[in-house]
Structure 1
C-alpha cells in the first residue's frame, strides 16, 4: 500500500520499554526538541512505556501506545514476565513486530530513530526494516540508531545480529554521551561494533526540553527538603526503603517535606507494605510516579534517585546535590556511568549500593546535601536532544 509523498511521516521515533524510563525519556526528549525547533515536521513517538504521557506532558508530541513488556529481577538478572495484557514476553515480541511493521507501512516515515539496539528488545523491528527495504528500496527509509553513554553488558547490543542489521540497513549512529565526561572508549567500542563513527550528541535531558531555564529551587511554589524516586521495586528495595524511612524520621520535620515517588504502589502486597513504612512520618508524602515528579524535583534542595541515565540527567539538570542508589545487577552499566558522572560533579553527588544504605549513611549523606546550597552547573553537555534533532532534520530535508 503506497502512501503518497505529501502524506508521509517525516520522523518515527521508537523506544522499547524496559524496567526504567531511560529509553522512552531520551526518545521523548528528542521528539520534544524536534517539535520545538522544527514545528512543521510530522513526528510520531511509538512505545509500550506506560508512563509516556506523563513524560510528554503538554509538549505537543504525538504518540502511539503498544502493549507493555514487563520484567522482574532475580539474583541480579532481568527476565521477562507476562505484560499487563497477559501476553508473555515472546508473544508480545511477535505481536509488536507485526504492529510496528504495519505502522511503517502506513506512515512510510522518511527517518526512523531507534533507541538502544537495531533489532529492538525481541527483534520486533526486523520485519519492519526488511519490509521497508524490500518494498521501497534502501533510500526510502533512513534508519538511525541512538545509544546511551554507557551501553553496558547488554547481549542484544553486542550481538552479531545487531552488527549485521546495522551495517546492512542503518544510516547513522548517534551517541547520547559527553566524551569530556566518559572519555572516548565508548565511542571506540561502538565504532568497532557497528563499523561507523558515532555522532557525539551530548547527554539527552528531557527536563532541558520541557523546562528550559528551570534549574534549582526557584519560583513561587512550595519548596521541599528533597525528592525521592524509586521507579520500580527490586529484590533489595524494601530493605532500603525501611532504612530510608528511619533516616527521614531521624532528620526530623524541621528540614521540610520529602516527596517520594514509588513505582508498584498499586501492585499486590508491595504497595501497602511501602505505604506503611512512611505513614507515621508527617513530613513524607508517598505517591506513584507521575507528572508531579519533575516540579517537585525542581523545587527540592536535594534528591535521592536510582542510578539510571534518565534519573541522573534529571538531577544534574536540576543542579541540586544528590545521592544515587545502585541496584545489584549483573549488567554494570549504572556503576560505570555513575562513577564517571561523580568525577564531573564532585562532592555534589554521591553513590551507594542498595544493600549499603544503612540508616546512618542515609542520614549523613542527605544532611550534608541539605546544607550544600543552591544550584550549580556541573559542566556537562545536556544539549543532546537538540543536537540529535538537528541531525535528524537534515536527514529529512536533504534529498
Structure 2
C-alpha cells in the first residue's frame, strides 16, 4: 500500500528478488502513474520502473467491504508495507494491532516521514523536505555554493526505500527463526540524517567538539568533474601510490618529492582543496580521450562524464545487458533497468510488466477465497476496481515525436 517512490522502490527490489508483490492501490491509483512522459494517462515512466514484477489490485479501504478485502489479503501475506500516516491507518481500523489480529505472524512495515518518538511525528514528508531537514541541501553551502539546493534525484526516497527493504527482510528472517511477526517503522528523516551525519559529523563527533562538521575531501569546492581540452573527466587520485603515479604520468615526479602538501594521506587530508585545484589546472591541457588512455596505462582511477541519454550505450552496461527492451501489453516497447545484483543460485530479474491500474483485482481476490459473485459485488459497489481493457485513449505525443510501436507481447509469467 505505497505510492510515489520510497515504498514502490523498496517493494520493487523485493519483487525483483522473486516476491509476489500485490500492489493495493486506491481507486485513483498511485500518483506516480501520471508523472512524466507517457503513452497512456496512468502509465508514466517512474511508475513503470518502480512497479514492475507486481500485481495491481484496486480497493477503496475507506469502504467497510474494501477494508474487509484488504484484511483478507493480509491473512495470507508475509508482510504489508504502507506509507499512509499512522493516525490515518488507525482511523481506518488498519493499524498494526488490527492487521496482526488476523495474521499474528505478519511483518508490518510503516514508511513515515519522521519517527514516532519525536515532535515531528505525523507530519507530511516529501523528498525535498527531507533533503532540507536532514542537512543534505545545506551540504552545497558547505562545499562553497551560494545557497542550499536539492540533489536532482529523489535521493531521500531511494535511501529510505533501501532501508525499508532490508528492514523488512531482517524482520522476515526473525519471523522465520521464531515465528514472531512485528511492527517495523522506517522514517525518512532519520534514514537520511544518518547518511549525512555519517559523512559529515566530523569534529562534532567528539564531546566536546574538536573541529567543525564536514569531511574536507567531500566539501572541497574543487571536487567536481574537471574540464579537459574538449569536455569533462572524473578523476580521483587518492592514495600515495596513485599520487606518485599521477605525477610520473604528467612528467612531474619532482612535485611528489618536493611538495610537502602531497607527502602522505594525512597531510593531503589537510590540503584537499589545493590538490584538487592543481588537478583542475593540469587536466585542461589534454583531451578527455588522451587523459583516459594515459590514466588507464598508469592504473589511475578515471571515468568519462556520461550524459543520461548516453548511459544505456556505455560499453560496460551494454555488455551486461543492463537496459532491457521489453514489450508491454498496453505501452508497447519500453526500456527496463535490470537489477544490478548477481546471484549464483537465485538471480533477480524482470518477470512481469508494471501493471495497469487494477489489472489483477479479480485474479488476486479469487486467490484470497472470494467467490465470483462476491467480487462482482465489490466491483459494482466501487469498493474494488478492475482494469478496463482496452485502456483509456492514448495521450497525443508532442509534435515531431516518432510513432509508438505496436504492442504484441502479453504478460510474462513469473518464474520460480
TM range (shorter): under 0.3
Q: Which has the larger radius of gyration?
A: 2
Instruction: State TM-score, norm by structure 1.
Output: 0.26
Relative contact order, CA 8 A, sep 6+: which one is greater? 2
